[in-house]
Amino acid sequence: MTTPAHAPDSIPARPARRPSPIAATVHALMREIEADPTRPLRLADLARRSGYSAAHLQRNFTAIAGSSPKAFQVAARMRLLKKGLRSPANVTAAIQEAGFGSTSRLYEKADAELGMTPTEYRRGGAGLTIGWATGETPLGRVLIGATSRGICALAFGASDAALARDLAAEFPAATLQPMPTTSRAEFARWMAALNGYLAGKLPQLELPLDVQGTAFQLLVWRYLRTVPRGQTRSYAEVAREIGRPDAARAVARACAGNRVAIAIPCHRVVRGDGALSGYRWGVQRKRALLDAEALAADGR
């Protein structure tokens, strides 16, 4: 389970069209903000440089990016902070380097963006013991990792060795061990349920989960489990359904951060034009899953 790869996997549904001037301006500003999210940002300055009115720029930026320029910058700073919290730097240094300036400013956003305090987020699975085992499915090799409370990882990959490396990268501070013999019968039941679902023999996949994420991620993941088999939603539709209509890009990141394939069906989220956006376990698997679910839903 490495860093999600949403964008590089995307498959366009139709030939790309030349972006409008305002769209090109917005995308340039997005790249500029992402390149240096700590740089002071004022809408009036952005508007003056772009040649558009502040209201026109804000409206188009929000429509394209899914959030205002300021909210987009905050999200970029949070990503920078999360990266810093995983490094040897101390928490205070990571907060300052992410451009928040003070601990108090960061903690105002911690519950909504991290779902926990920065120190807790930095632990990377500390205190968890995860037992894991691998098996075979129609979609290739799969690894299931579980704590005493339930499944925390379900991932597809090319080999058992690669899957084990990805699990260690995803939970760097956890204690990882081969699934104990006493849990093998339960693992066999999980595999039977997974393969039964993939074969269209089960109407839904019911597995005990123990997932950890930010408050926003958990909100998105809970909603995804309500999307019926055979149906899809766009990122913007998910954002509206969870009451965050300006958060389509954040929904995409939450889907990318899902560690439990199929049980949390992030594969059912597509682009607004219906194209298959990326999938951390491969866009071809995403296509196969959607095709199989559509057939099963139709009763064929």
Domain boundaries, the chain: 12-122, 129-198
| pLDDT for residue 157 | 95
- CATH numeric code, 12-122: 1.10.10.60
Residue 52, pLDDT above cutoff 80: yes
CA-to-CA dists, residue 218 to 77, 224, 277, angstroms: 20, 10, 21
Residue 144, pLDDT above cutoff 90: yes
In this predicted model, which residue has the larger pLDDT, 99 or 228?
Answer: 228
Mean pLDDT of the chain: 80
- H helix intervals, the chain: 21-35, 43-50, 54-65, 69-85, 91-97, 103-113, 118-122, 160-170, 184-198, 215-224, 235-241, 248-256, 283-297
Measured distance CA(43)–CA(205) in Å, rounded: 46
Residue 108, pLDDT above cutoff 80: no
Measured distance CA(259)–CA(169) in Å, rounded: 12
**Three-state secondary structure of 80-109:** HHHHHHCCCCCHHHHHHHCCCCCHHHHHHH
| pLDDT for residue 107 | 45
Measured distance CA(283)–CA(225) in Å, rounded: 20
Confidence class of residue 66 from pLDDT cuts 50, 70 and 90? low
Measured distance CA(134)–CA(97) in Å, rounded: 40
Average pLDDT over residues 163-176: 90
Q: How many C-beta atoms lie closer than 10 Å to residue 299's C-beta?
A: 6
Average pLDDT over residues 129-145: 95
Burial 13-26 (b: 16+ CB within 10 A, else e): eeeeeeeeebeebb
Measured distance CA(89)–CA(43) in Å, rounded: 32
| pLDDT for residue 11 | 41
Strands 233-234 and 269-270: parallel
| pLDDT for residue 114 | 42
Amino acid at 48: R
Render pLDDT for 187-246 as a digit per residue (tens, 0 to 9). 999 999 999 999 988 888 889 998 877 778 888 998 999 999 999 999 999 999 988 888
Burial 72-103 (b: 16+ CB within 10 A, else e): bbbbbbbebbbebbeeeeebeebbbbbbbeee
Confidence class of residue 101 from pLDDT cuts 50, 70 and 90? low
CA-to-CA dists, residue 200 to 15, 16, 229, 295, angstroms: 33, 35, 11, 8
Specify whether the CB–CB gap between 290 and 195 falls below 8 A: no
Q: What percent of the chain has pLDDT over 90?
A: 34
| pLDDT for residue 82 | 63
Which residues form the catalytic set?
A: 266
SS3 call for 156: strand
What CATH class has 129-198? alpha beta
